Amino acid sequence: MFEPSLQSPGYGDAMQAKRAMVVDNHPVMRRFMSDFLTEKGYEVVTAPDGLSALEALEDCSPDIVFVDLVMPHIGGEKLCRVIRRRKSLEQCFVVVVSAIVSEKDFCPADLEADVILAKGPLDKLSANVDFIVNQVSSGRRAELRGRVIGRDHLAERQISKELIEISGNYELALEHMSEGLLETQGSKVVYLNAAALAMIGIREEDLLAGNFVDLFREGDQAMVVKRMFESLDVRRPVLLDPLVMPGGRLVSIRILPVRKANREDTTLVIMRDITVEKLAEEKLLKSQEQYKREKNFLENIFESSADAIAILDKSGRFIRWNDQASRLLGYSFTEMRAKRTFEICANREAMKLLVADIRRSEFVRDREVDLKRKDGTIMPGALSMSILRDGSREKIGTLAIIRDLSHWKQTEEKLRFLSFHDPLTGLYNRAYFEEEMKRLTAARHLPMGIIVCDINLLKFINDTFGHQKGDALIRAAADILRRSFRSSDLIARIGGDEFAVLLPESNREVVEERVHRIVEEIGNYNKEASAQSLSLAIGCAVSEHAPLDMQMLFKEADDNMYREKFREEQTGRSRIIQYLFRVLGKKDFVAEGHVERLEDYAVKMAEETGLSGEQFGRLRLLARFHDLGKVAIRNDILFKPDTLSREEFREVKQHCEIGRRIALSSAELAPVAELILKHHEWWNGQGYPLGLKGTEIPIECRIISIADAYDIMTKKYYKEAKTPEDAARELRRGAGTQFDPDLVETFLRIVDPG
C-alpha cells in the first residue's frame, strides 16, 4: 500500500506545491527520504514497492520520483519504464536509488531514468538528494540527466556482485523461455516475461498492476477466478483448459501457488502457446479431400513441429513419427513402426485410463504421462490425442502430440523446493513443518518425539559481530542437526534462531539419545571452531499413547527448551563477556598491563576524590571494560599507523555505543553501560557521542579519560613513549578543553611526575 508522508501537507493545501514520491521497500529509507524532502518543501507520497507506487500514481503526478532498484511486486526498472510511457508523467524527473551501483555498471538511459543515485552513507545521501532537488527546482534538469551520483562513496562488494550476476542469469533465462511466465500478487500482475507479453498481445506498461482476470473474455473470468482459488486452497498446480488471449493466441495455462519465506502467497502462471497445435489438429480432422489438398502444408507442420507428433492406425500401432519424436524418445521411425503406445508408456495402467477417455470423448489434451526412452530413461511428457475420422465419419486412426515436460518439471520442482525449504540452511521451513505435524497425527506414527532447539544469544552475536557471524552460526547449527539425526527424522528451521525435529516411531530412549548426540556434536564443533562458539538450548517431548495432540506435544518440548534456555543464558552471557574481553586483549592494550594500571589509578583517584562505594565499584568496572566496543571495530583501522580518514574515525567512534549495547546485555556490566557510552566526552563539549560538557559528564568518565590518556602517553603503544613530565604537561595543556582541570591536578599529585 502507498502512504502519504505524515509530515507532508494535505493535497490541495497549496496549488503550486512541489510533489515528490519515494518508492523503497525499506521503511527506514522511506522515512528518511520522506522527512528530508518534506523539509525541502515537498508534498511526499511513499510506497513500499512498484505495485503500490503504480496505484498511487493514478491519483497524483509528482515532480520528482525516487525509485529503489530492487523491490518486490514490480521492481524499479519496470516501474521507470511504465512512468516513461504515461503521458501524465512525461514531465516527472526520475531518480533511481540503489546500493549496488558499485557492483554493476548502470547507465540511467538503460533504466529509462534521468539520474542514478548511489545509496551510500546517510550524510552523503542527504547531500546528494539536496543537490538533485535543488538542480531540478532551479530548472537545471538537463545538466543532471545521464549522471550516476554518489558511486565514489560505495565500496564494491564481491558477494553482491556475484548475486547480481546470478540474478541476471536467471532473468535472462526467464526472458528467453519459450513458455510465458506471469506472476500475480493477489489479483494484480507484477511480472511478465517476453513470451507472456507476446502471447497476451498487450504492452507491458498497460499490464503491470492490472487485474489478471481482466485479460480473459467475460465468459471465462468466473472460471479463472475459481481455479485460482482452488490452486491456493489445495496448494497444488492447476491446469486450465486452453483460453483465448486478447491478442487472439490460444494458450494452455498452469497456475502454480507459491508461498514465500514471509508466508505471503503469490501465484505463478505458466503459459504455453498452443495455437499452432490446435490449427494442426483442426486441419487433420477435416475430410479426406481437404487433407489431400493440404497434404504438403500439413507435412511441413508435422515434420517441423517443436513437439513430437505421431499418427496411429485404428489398432493403435504407429504409422507416422516425426523427427522431433525421434529426438525426444530416441527411436527411429523404423524402430517404432508397428509398435503400440503401451510399449513406450512407463505406466500401463495410466495408459489404459487414457485410452478409455479417448474412446469416450475422442479427445485428450495435455494428459501428463511418463514415457520410456530407448536408453531406458523416463521422460515426463504431456500427451494430447485425438481420434481421426474421414469424410464419412469412419475412424481412420489417432493423432498423438507429445510435449517434453522435463524442463517444466524441473522448474516446478525448484519452485516447490523454495516454497518448503529455508534458503539459508536448506532445511525444511516452518510451513512444511506444520503440514507434517498435521500429517503425523495418526496413531500409527506413535511413539512420537519432538525436539526443539534454539541458538542462545544469537541476537547478541548479531548486534555485536554482525549478521554474517550470526548466519554462520545458524548454518553451523543446521549442519550439526543433520549429522545428529536419521534420514527418517524431519528437521526444520522454524524461526530466526529456532529449529525443530519430528521423530516418528521414536520412544523416549531414542529421543534422549538424539539429544545427547546433538550435545556431543556441539562440543566437537566448539573445539574446532576458530570463531564464535555455538550454544543451543534443547527441549524435547515424547508421546507414546493415543490420541496424539501434536500441538500440545510441541508446546511441551518448546517449554522445556525455554527452561533450559533461561538457565543457559544466565551463565552464557558471562562466558561471552569473558570471550569478548579476551578478544579485546588482542585489539587493545589489555594484555600489556594497561587495564591493571588504570584500575590502580582508579583506586587512588576514588580515595582522593571521596567517591562513594557504589561509584568506586563502577569506576573499577569502567577501567576494565571502557573500550569493550572495540571488539567490533576492524583491526586495520584500530592499528592503522597513519591518520584515520573521516569515515574511519566515524567507525571508531561507534565503539562507545557498541560497548554500551554489549554491557546492557550483561547483568554484571549493565551498571556501567551509560559510563562506557560517555567515556569519550570532553570537558568543553567537543567530545562524542553526546556532546556533553562539564559536570554533565559523570565523574567516573572524567577520571578514566585522564588516566587512560596518561597511560597511553607514558607507555609505548602507538608512538614513542613520553616521560612522565612530558605527559603531565600534555594533560595540563588539555585541562579545561578535553579534561576536567581540577581532576587533572588531583591525578598529577597522585602520580607525582615532578
What pLDDT does 349 receive? 81
What pLDDT does 64 receive? 94
What pLDDT does 348 receive? 79
What pLDDT does 396 receive? 83
Instruction: Write the CATH number of the domain with boundaries 424-569.
Output: 3.30.70.270
Residue type, 174: L
DSSP state of 540: E
**Mean pLDDT, all residues of the chain:** 83
Superfamily the domain 176-273 falls into: PAS domain (3.30.450.20)
What pLDDT does 13 receive? 43
What pLDDT does 512 receive? 94
- Listed by start position, the domains of the chain span 3-157, 176-273, 277-410, 424-569, 588-751
What pLDDT does 30 receive? 87
d(CA 340, CA 318): 6
Contact 136, 92 (CB under 8 A): no
d(CA 68, CA 30): 10
What pLDDT does 10 receive? 42
Identical topology for domains 277-410 and 588-751:
no
What pLDDT does 6 receive? 39
Q: Sheet of 188-192: strands edge to edge?
A: 188-192, 180-185, 265-273, 250-259, 238-244
What pLDDT does 287 receive? 62
Residue type, 417: F
Grid cell for residue 692: 556533553
Stretches in the chain below the pLDDT threshold 70: 1-16, 101-104, 153-171, 173, 260-263, 287-288, 291-293, 295-296, 338, 443, 530-532, 568-592, 716-719, 753-754
CATH architecture of 277-410: 2-Layer Sandwich (3.30)
End-to-end CA distance of the chain: 71
Grid cell for residue 570: 544466565
What pLDDT does 170 receive? 61
Grid cell for residue 196: 507472456
CATH of region 588-751, choose from 1.10.3210.10, 1.10.460.10, 3.10.105.10, 3.30.565.10:
1.10.3210.10
Instruction: Write the CATH number of the domain with boundaries 3-157.
Output: 3.40.50.2300
6: exposed, middle or buried (Cβ count in 10 Å: 0-12, 13-18, 19+): exposed
